[in-house]
Structure 1
Amino acid sequence: MSHPSTDKDNIQTQLSADCESCFGLCCVALPYVKSADFAFNKNGGTPCRNLQSDFRCGIHKELRKKGFKGCAVYECFGAGQKVSQVTYGGNDWRNDSALAGEMFDVFPIMQQLHEMLYYLYEALHIDDTNPIQEDLQTAIDKTEDLTGLKPKDILDIDVSEHRAGVNTLLLRASKLVRANIPNKEIKINRKRDLIGAKLHGADLRGANLRGAMLIAADLRKTDMRETDLIGADFRDADLRGANLEGSIFLTQAQVNAAIGDVHTKLPPSLSIPDHWN
């Protein structure tokens, strides 16, 4: 089976959403509940009322204003176009209702596999992970193979088991990167419960903030270089003036969920969101 190019720029393109090549799968397959992130309830498998006939969102430029912050920060990591154009060969759910339910079940599995690939490729391109690069490449090849399976075989994947193996590798990569911060002691208690934490100007360089709940935390002017941020919840966290250069496993979706400004320093692969301006 042929795999995508290992060129870093090409990988970032392949593992980023291309809505023009997708059949609006995230707007149909996924459920959501009325909340601060969504303006109304929607069941999985039901098209969002804002989805247009061309599979584009009718309020895309006003998602935040219209109460759909959750949509504004969602990232499928390229799973949408993969399922639409590769797994189902361009056959969309509106023209083939018999496949619709299956397609909607395949999409979230593909999203998880593509998210794992995003992190694995990032780890592979970090010099500090050289001791485990063979293992990382093996995991990438295995994950790529899973994404290329037939729909019914994708539905049989034990995603939790595969994720556990990938997570072990990512933990090893994280330790190798953060080992470059000599004699560093990170004194953060209850890292998973830092909602609203006052960390203005804190030195968090080299910290392990995997899965940290940083909702509405004050992170202005913090130093988060070489910090592991995989799965950290940055919703409404204030990153103005923070330095996240060299942080690992940070995604555009996490950045989009936060508050920042032109003085926020991001890894080169990520962009300043429009709502920061």
Structure 2
Amino acid sequence: MDALRADCTSCFGLCCVASAFAKSADFALDKPTGVQCPNLLVDFRCGVHDVLRGSGFRGCTVFDCLGAGQKVAQVTYRGRDWRSAPETAAEMFEVYGVMRQLHEILWYLREAAATELFEEVDGLTRADPATLVSVDVEALRDRVRPVLTRHSDERRAGISGKEDRRGADLVGARLHGARLRGADLRGAYLIGADLRDADLRDADLLGTDLRDANLRGADLRGALFLTQFQLNAAQGDARTRFPAALTRPAHW
């Protein structure tokens, strides 16, 4: 199985305990860090998994840990869960927070084919808890950022007419059928944007906010640094095309 794909059956429901969320349109209740969600069962499965959206937990259907949960459960703590070993709980939740970020970095490095740096970060994910919680993730991101930029520039170099929309405020923008092939959309805000039938092939989508963006019929093949949680947060349909490494969200 792909180590960067979430496997909830090998986890201890870490996202249901370590994560905090506030009552909103995405979550039906307030839950602080370290307090388990009331829907978490004794076997670490979700009691409302099949009806999350109808139960007021839409945010859970968007989330994806990129395999960090099972790495913490099965590698870092070697199968010892926080319930049977409560003395590990606080540390385990902190480790999980770091691991999530490291796995996201690994996702990007794998796409950029940055083998040496990938192996370095992958080695960190296999370290002991004390080492993991001491990782300076921001310093690591500073090293990774230029590597990803170089890969993006090289991949998009031959595309004519590409737009630079890096960090742009495109909330609710009307971009139906827009030609955005090869566009730099890093960090852009496309919340609720109308991107139906848009051409987003080879666009750089690193950190792009696609919450509730309408991607019905859009073409995202070859899109750079697109993650599963970005796709989950958007609206799409059977016509939406995207990189093979991702899966079509169940709610589309």
* TM-score band w.r.t. shorter chain: over 0.9
Matches within 5 A, 1:1-277: 13-124=2-113, 136-182=114-160, 184-186=161-163, 188=165, 191-276=167-252
TM-superposed deviation, 1:29: 0.5
**Equivalent AA in structure 2 for residue 186 of structure 1:** E
In structure 1, distance between residues paired with 2:6 and 2:115: 23
Contiguous gaps of at least 5 residues in structure 1? 1-9, 125-135
TM-superposed deviation, 1:243: 0.6
In structure 2, distance between residues paired with 1:271 and 1:94: 32
In structure 2, distance between residues paired with 1:55 and 1:161: 34
Conserved in 1, the CA contact under 8 Å of 2:102 and 2:121? yes
**Equivalent AA in structure 1 for residue 244 of structure 2:** P
In structure 2, distance between residues paired with 1:163 and 1:185: 26
In structure 2, distance between residues paired with 1:196 and 1:32: 25
**Equivalent AA in structure 2 for residue 38 of structure 1:** F
Over residues 45-84 of structure 1, what are the superposed CA-to-partner deviations in whole Å (9 max), with x where a residue is unaligned? 0000110000001111111111111111111110100000
Q: SS at 1:14's partner residue?
A: coil
In structure 1, distance between residues paired with 2:135 and 2:192: 36
Q: SS at 2:222's partner residue?
A: coil
Conserved in 1, the CA contact under 8 Å of 2:164 and 2:184? no
Q: SS at 1:82's partner residue?
A: helix
In structure 1, distance between residues paired with 2:40 and 2:72: 18
In structure 1, distance between residues paired with 2:137 and 2:24: 28
TM-score with structure 1 setting the length: 0.88
Call closer, same or farther: CA 1:17–1:185 in 2, change over 3 Å: closer
Contiguous gaps of at least 5 residues in structure 2? none
**Equivalent AA in structure 1 for residue 179 of structure 2:** D
Conserved in 1, the CA contact under 8 Å of 2:18 and 2:93? yes
In structure 2, distance between residues paired with 1:180 and 1:109: 37
TM-superposed deviation, 1:187: 6.2
Q: SS at 1:139's partner residue?
A: helix
Over residues 106-150 of structure 1, what are the superposed CA-to-partner deviations in whole Å (9 max), with x where a residue is unaligned? 0010010011101111111xxxxxxxxxxx112111101111111
Q: Across the two proteins, how many residue pairs are aligned to each other? A: 252
- CA RMSD between the two structures: 1.2
**Equivalent AA in structure 2 for residue 108 of structure 1:** G
In structure 2, distance between residues paired with 1:168 and 1:70: 31
TM-score with structure 2 setting the length: 0.97
In structure 1, distance between residues paired with 2:250 and 2:22: 25
Q: SS at 1:58's partner residue?
A: coil
In structure 2, distance between residues paired with 1:185 and 1:249: 17
**Equivalent AA in structure 2 for residue 199 of structure 1:** L
In structure 1, distance between residues paired with 2:154 and 2:99: 28
TM-superposed deviation, 1:200: 0.6
